[in-house]
């Protein structure tokens, strides 16, 4: 297990931080992907995913 610091708190692992911090509906795999892709730890755990209605509907365009 690799410790992770989010804000001022340090957790034993990503999974334990996810259990303590993740908002409803944020999958653990999303948090792990964000961390692997360079997101700040605090943002990775607190930023909500893009709602389906705002996701890309066709190549290069997002509906609002």
Q: Is the predicted pLDDT of residue 2 greater than 90, yes or no? A: no
pLDDT at 15: 93
Query: Over the stretch 33-62, which tens digit does the pLDDT of each residue have?
Result: 999 999 999 999 988 887 777 776 666 665
For the purposes of burial, counting CB atoms within 10 Å of the CB of 19, is it exposed (0-12), middle (13-18) or buried (19 or more)? exposed
Q: What does the alpha-carbon distance between residue 64 and residue 55 come to, in Å, rounded to a whole number? A: 9
Q: What does the alpha-carbon distance between residue 8 and residue 3 come to, in Å, rounded to a whole number? A: 13
Query: Over the stretch 19-35, which tens digit does the pLDDT of each residue have?
Result: 998 767 789 999 999 99
**Single pTM value for the model:** 0.74
Quick one: which H or E segment has residue 48?
A: none
């Amino acid at each position: 297990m690799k410790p992770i610091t989010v804000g001022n708190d340090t957790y034993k692992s990503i999974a334990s931080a996810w259990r303590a911090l993740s908002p409803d509906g944020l999958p653990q795999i999303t948090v792990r992907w964000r961390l692997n892709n360079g997101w700040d730890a605090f943002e990775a755990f607190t930023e909500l995913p893009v709602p389906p209605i705002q996701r890309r509907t066709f190549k290069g365009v997002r509906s609002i």
